[in-house]
Amino acid sequence: MKRTRAIVAVACCAVVLSACSARGGDTPVDPSGEACSPGITDTEINLGGSLPLSGPAAIYGSLAHAAEAVFEKANADGGVESADGKTRTINYTYLDDGYEPARTARNVRTLVERDNIFSTYGVFGTSNALAAREYLQSVNIPLLQVDTGSDQFQEINSPDLFGAIMQYGFQAGVAAQYILKEKPDAKIGILYQNNGYGEDMLRNYTAAFEGTGAEIVSAQAYDLSAGNVDSQIIALKDSGADVFLNYGAGTFVPAAIKKAYEIGWTPLQVVSTEGGQIETGLKPAGVEAATGVLSVAVLKDVADPQWGDDNPKVVYSDLAEYAPDEDWENDALLYRGVLQAEIMLDALRGMEGCTVEDLETSIHNLDLESAVLRPGLAISTSEDYAFAPTEAQIVQFDGESWVTADDTIFNAREVVVGE
């Protein structure tokens, strides 16, 4: 009930804003005399998103709830002051698409035509974003902070597309470099989802090991509807693999870790960045089974005791005031959403005018540090790279914490597969 009221209230604000900057109506101008894009005035800006609040991917609704809290706090602190000298409050509306691309396409049309958005923020999923892109391009609205790491965004490399999580080719490039250093003649087995994400990871790892002494000896796919991945883990062990790339998702990550442990298979194991959360990815497998696994990390894990007062749940404890129904103590997705919203705020601050092009230029030229990032990591965006996370580390679970396994800070522009 609380969430519905928040969405309706924000939408009502957008109606007021549309009176002075509606599509096809009178619009303000920026300092250079150029007309502002629709959805923005000297005092307000409308953003809109579409993501799953229901259905099998509903847990990702936390991303929008976190952003709402960050934006509401910014508004309470007086708004966002941009480089054009104007201070604006944010009206953020998000709609449920159940992770269905067709619903995403309908939602963004509603956000444009009813809520008069200046930009999208926080559309979830590759197929969902691309299903909406043709229409959004026709009305000159960008897809920014899309929750995807799909290599398609980098292949397209257009100012109107910007991904909010680690590019899949970056993740594969980091893990592959580490594996080749530790086991140059590795025999590799990979577990992957039978969908676009899984196929992207398989393609990236195949390319990463091509021409090296390492070899993928078994690739086992599973369907999201499967009850377990036991047969796939047994097949991977029987292949003779001494490296296990665990690219399951959700409950399949700990299930795969646990099964490998139960059958006595002890390869060098890398779990996906998505699946490497202590509370949801490792502890359900059993601490003993999970000890020693590796992952590619960008963010601090809020369940990791090593962070103390630097834990994001301590640093951002005031956000609970703006989203009291959320589990700020344990939900790692909330802090992923916090970082994504911080990046958007920084992009809004960097705008030198009031057009979509000003926002696109700003978000591709950021230098940002955050308490959500692991120590030593920062974000530095550029016009030739379509994602926000630009640095990462290899980490290893020691039974309690994710500790640095390699002092190298990997840069996306140097290790992305195929670059």
Cβ atoms within 10 Å, residue 115: 24
The separation between CA 170 and the C-alpha centre of its own chain, rounded to angstroms, equals 13
Which residues have CB under 8 Å from 115's CB, separation 6+?
11, 14, 46, 48, 91, 93
Q: Are residues 265 and 239 in contact, defined by beta-carbon separation less than 8 angstroms? A: no
Which residues sit opposite 313 in a β-bridge?
Answer: none
Q: Give the model's pLDDT for residue 108.
A: 98
For 295, the 3-state DSSP assignment is strand
Stretch (H or E) spanning 193: strand 187-193
Stretch (H or E) spanning 235: helix 230-238
The separation between CA 149 and the C-alpha centre of its own chain, rounded to angstroms, equals 7
Q: Can you count the helices (H) and strands (E) in the chain?
A: 14, 16
- Separation of alpha carbons 349 and 88, rounded Å: 10
- Separation of alpha carbons 179 and 225, rounded Å: 31
What are the C-alpha distances in Å from 405 to residues 56, 157, 208, 376, 412?
34, 32, 20, 14, 18
pTM value is: 0.89
User: What is the DSSP code string of 5-31?
Assistant: HHHHHHHHHHHHHHHHH-TTS---B-T
Torsion 324-326-328-334 (CA) sign: negative
Average pLDDT, consecutive stretches of 10 residues, N- to C-terminus, the chain (419 residues): 32 38 56 84 98 92 97 98 98 97 98 98 95 97 96 94 96 96 98 91 96 97 91 98 94 95 98 91 96 97 96 97 95 96 98 98 97 97 95 97 95 78
| Angle, vertex CA 398, rays to CA 244 and CA 271, nearest 5 | 30
Place of tokens 């950021």: 366
Q: Give the model's pLDDT for residue 34.
A: 74
Cβ atoms within 10 Å, residue 12: 12
DSSP state of 144: E
- Separation of alpha carbons 279 and 227, rounded Å: 21
Cβ atoms within 10 Å, residue 211: 7
- Separation of alpha carbons 99 and 20, rounded Å: 33
Strands 391-397 and 402-404: antiparallel
Q: Give the model's pLDDT for residue 18.
A: 39
- Separation of alpha carbons 401 and 384, rounded Å: 35
What is the rounded radius of gyration, in angstroms, for the C-alpha atoms of the chain? 22
Which residues sit opposite 246 in a β-bridge?
Answer: 191, 271
Cβ atoms within 10 Å, residue 16: 11
Q: Which candidate, 305, 311, 301, places its Cα nearest to that of 333? A: 301
CB-based burial, 226-254: b 16+ in 10 Å, e otherwise: eeebeebbebbbebebbbbbbbbbbebbb
For 145, the 3-state DSSP assignment is strand
Place of tokens 């902070």: 145
- Separation of alpha carbons 166 and 415, rounded Å: 12
Two structure tokens written together for 374:
């692991």
Q: Are residues 377 and 392 in contact, defined by beta-carbon separation less than 8 angstroms? A: yes
